[in-house]
Amino acid sequence: MADPPSPTGVGAPADIVVSNDQDEVPLDAGRWAALAAAVLADRGCGGELTLNFVDESTIAELNLEHMGIDGPTDVLSFPLDDPSLSDSPSGPPSLLGDVVVCPAVASRQFAEHAGTLDDELALLVVHGVLHVLGHDHAEPEEARDMRELEVLLLERHHWNGTVPAGFSAEHRS
């Protein structure tokens, strides 16, 4: 796998600001914030990241405003500062960006995607964080590399082992 370089040498740990502004799907927002922090640490990144769980109408508005696509989506990422340009550990934190996840969309698609709602939410958090760090999947090779990195990070920080049966990083339908 051609793993794009990630920033290194960041002395400060990641600071995850998490909010759960939806009530359709019960979730432990702190658990997902810990996963996001583990992914950032794995990639050698410090700084501040916001992780927002929102309802369908909110993510649909963001999707239309920022992507020009009408309707809800599962995850959106909004990178801010380039993590490789982070100041010294004693300086202000780098503002990495925002990851916005819609659990209601995740709850509808998990069976054809990650297999379980838990794995779907984990995949969306990891996917969103990787986008904030500059990873992309516009080209087939980028998509393959990003999927491989997602699985690696899920094995390390979500499953603490190998990929479970029934998991797919790609939509089946």
Task: Output the pLDDT for position 119.
Answer: 97
The amino acid at residue 21 is: D
Task: Output the pLDDT for position 166.
Answer: 86
Task: Output the pLDDT for position 34.
Answer: 97
CATH number of the domain enclosing 97 = 3.40.390.30
Task: Output the pLDDT for position 83.
Answer: 55
Q: Rg for the chain (alpha carbons), in Å? A: 15
Task: Output the pLDDT for position 87.
Answer: 45
pTM > 0.85: yes
Residue at 78 is within a domain = yes
How far is 50 from 114, CA to CA, in rounded Å? Answer: 23
Tell me whether strands 75-79 and 95-101 are parallel, antiparallel or unpaired.
Answer: antiparallel
Residue at 58 is within a domain = yes
Q: Is 51 helix (H, G, I), strand (E, B) or coil?
A: strand
DSSP one-letter code for 36: H
Tell me whether strands 75-79 and 47-54 are parallel, antiparallel or unpaired.
Answer: unpaired
How many domains does the chain divide into? 1
Residue at 84 is within a domain = yes
Task: Output the pLDDT for position 74.
Answer: 97
Residue at 101 is within a domain = yes
How far is 15 from 7, CA to CA, in rounded Å? Answer: 16
For the record, the structure tokens of 49 come out as 């990241």
From first to last of the 173 residues of the chain, give the pLDDT tens digit: 444 434 433 445 789 999 999 999 999 999 999 999 999 999 999 899 999 999 999 999 999 999 999 999 999 999 996 655 544 455 566 899 999 999 999 999 999 889 999 999 999 999 999 999 999 998 999 999 999 999 999 999 999 999 998 898 887 65
Task: Output the pLDDT for position 51.
Answer: 98
Residue at 168 is within a domain = no
